[in-house]
Amino acid sequence: MASAAAAGDGQFKLSQTSVLKINKGDITQWFIDGSSDAIVNPANQRMLGGGGADGAIHRAAGPELREACFKVPEVQPGVRCPTGEAKITPGFKLPASHVIHTVGPIYDSDKDPKGSLRNAYKNCLTVAKENNIKYIAFPAISCGVFGYPYGEAATVALSTIKEFANDITEVHFVLFSDDIYDVWVKKAKELLQV
Ligand code: AR6
């Protein structure tokens, strides 16, 4: 019998054609079909790897990912992906077929962290649609090294995805920590339909 409880704590409706699933886990392991799926990498502007999820994604994808990132043209010295923008590469050794690299705001130094975080989610979804991605998995962009408060980040993330997910069949969050997972589910219950 279908019910909100049977659907699980972390499943929400975004539109008639699109669902949101919130899960705990390691985003490097995530995939749906290995052909129209993408994980989002919370990268930095250089796009050549780093710590946190970015480091884990590069390790799991293998050195070809760094080579593909290196080929993304610089728009300024040292900047391949400005804050709030998104660039796509193959996933190489990852189970997911694609990686969408985005750069979230550094909470304490960005002039408009909310606008920049919104742009990051929005542009990931735009790039996904342009590349016929049907399944996409996000981490909690900017909620690690970049210091964004979880509750505020969840509001921006979920409201932006609700607004722009239309042609994506499934949007997933794959969250590393219990506390971020709990904040995301609580906020989704406030903002989205179960
Ligand atoms: N799967 C899912 N989530 C993860 C994983 C994983 N394997 N590993 C970490 N997280 P962060 P940011 C969570 O720091 O704040 C890098 O150095 C983590 O617990 O990865 O956007 C980049 O190169 C946190 O909740 O990204 C940039 O310089 C969330 O992912 C900078 O960090 C995001 O944390 C980007 O900082």
CA nearest ligand 1 atom 10, residue: 53
Which of 54, 108, 112, 182 is catalytic? The answer is: 54
**Cα-to-centroid distance, 69 and ligand 1 (Å):** 18
Domains of the chain by start residue, with CATH? 11-191 (3.40.220.10)
pLDDT band at 6 (very low <50, low <70, confident <90, very high): very low
Q: What is the pLDDT of residues 103-150, one digit of tens each?
A: 999 999 999 999 999 999 999 999 999 999 999 999 999 999 999 999
Q: What is the pLDDT of residues 9-33, one digit of tens each?
A: 799 999 999 999 999 999 999 999 9
- Three-state secondary structure call for residue 96: coil
**Cα-to-centroid distance, 57 and ligand 1 (Å):** 10
Query: Does the active-site annotation cover 167?
Result: no
CA nearest ligand 1 atom 33, residue: 144
pTM of the model: 0.96
| Cα–Cα distance measured from residue 63 to residue 98, given in angstroms and rounded to the nearest whole number | 15
| Cα–Cα distance measured from residue 140 to residue 75, given in angstroms and rounded to the nearest whole number | 26
CA nearest ligand 1 atom 28, residue: 44
Query: 47 phi and psi, to 5 degrees?
Result: 65, 25
Q: What is the pLDDT of residues 45-91, one digit of tens each?
A: 999 999 999 999 999 999 999 999 999 999 999 999 999 999 999 99
